[in-house]
Amino acid sequence: MFKLDSPFMNFLNKVCDIMILNFLVLFCSIPIFTIGASVTAGYYIAYKMVRNEESYITKGFFKAFKENFKQSTIIWLIMMVVGLLLYGDFKIILNESMEIGNWMKIAVITVTVVVGLGAVFIFPVQARFTNTVKNTIKNGFLMALSHLPSAFVCLISLVIPFVLLYFLPQIAPAILLLAVGLLIYLKAMLYLKIFKKYEERGEETAESEASEDSSQAEDADSGIFAVSDSMEKETENK
C-alpha cells in the first residue's frame, strides 16, 4: 500500500492534474477562435501547478478563461491572420510555375521563424502579466529575442507530439490524454524561471515610480512589462 503523501502518490496526482488540464485546454479549444483564451488559462493553471498552489483546477481554469477571454481572443485572431498571410506566401514561393528569387524565399522563412519564436511567448506572458494587447504582443517578441535558446526549445517542442505520433502511432491514446497538458506544464517551469527576474525588476520599478510620481503611475499601463523601452535597451545591449 502506498501512503497518500508518498512520492509515488504525489506523482500520480500530478499526472491526473495534467490529464485534467489537457482535457480542459482541448475541450475549450474546439470552437477554434477560443484557442487563445484556452491556452492562456492553461498556462495560468500550470504556473500554479508548478508552484504547488493549485486547489481546484477546473474552477481556476474557467476563471482564468473568462478573465482573459477578450484580450486573448483578440491576440489569437491577430495571430491567425498573420499565420494565414504567411501560409499564402509559402503557397506562392512553392508554386513551381512562378519564378521566385531565393531572397524572397529566405525572407518569408525568416519572418515565419521570428513570428513563431515570438508567438510561443505571447500567451505565457498574457497568463502571467496584466497588460494591453499591444504590449503583450510586443513583450512576447522582446522576450523571445532576449531568450532565443529557450524560445527555440519551446517552438520545437510543439512538433514533438506529431513526430512521436508519426513514428509511434500506437501511443496515440497517451498523446491525446497528456501531450498538450504536459507540454504546457513543462514549459511553465521554464517560463517561470525566465519571468522571475522581470518580476523582481518590475517590483523595484513600481516602487520607484510610485515614490516619484504616483499620479503618472495610475495613468500608465498596468503590468510588469507596461513600459517596453527597458526591455528593448536590454535586448540591444546583448
Q: Please answer whether residues 125 and 100 qualify as being in contact, where contact means their C-beta atoms are separated by less than 8 angstroms.
A: no
% of the chain surpassing 90 pLDDT: 64
Conformational region of residue 168, where left means phi above 0, alpha means psi within -120 to 50, and beta covers everything else: beta
Return the SS3 of 1: coil
Determine the Cα–Cα distance for residues 71 and 75; give it in Å rounded to an integer: 6
Average pLDDT over residues 199-220: 59
Using the structure block, give the residue that is written with the C-alpha cell 528569387: 101
pLDDT band at 52 (very low <50, low <70, confident <90, very high): confident
So where are the chain's domains? 7-237
Contacts of 144 (CB under 8 A, 6+ apart): 117, 118, 120, 121, 151
pTM of the model: 0.82
Q: What is the pLDDT of residues 29-49, one digit of tens each?
A: 999 999 999 999 999 999 999
Can you tell me the mean pLDDT for 188-192? 95
**pLDDT (tens digit, 9 = 90+) per residue, 100-109?**
778 888 888 9
d(CA 111, CA 103): 12
Is 139:226 a contact under the CB 8 Å cutoff? Answer: no
Mean pLDDT of the region 187-191 = 96
Q: What is the DSSP string of 138-201?
A: HHHHHHHHHTHHHHHHHHHHTTHHHHHHHH-GGGHHHHHHHHHHHHHHHHHHHHHHHHHHHHHH
What's the burial of 211, exposed, middle or buried (CB within 10 Å: 0-12/13-18/19+)? exposed
Confidence bin at 215 (pLDDT 50/70/90): very low
pLDDT digits (tens, 9 = 90+) for 157-178: 999 999 999 999 999 999 999 9
The C-alpha cell 493549485 sits at 54
With beta carbons less than 8 A apart as the criterion, state whether 198 and 220 touch: no
Query: Hey, what amino acid is at 32?
Result: I
The rounded distance, in Å, linking the Cα atoms of 44 and 206 is 23
Q: What end-to-end distance do the CA atoms of the chain give, in Å?
A: 54
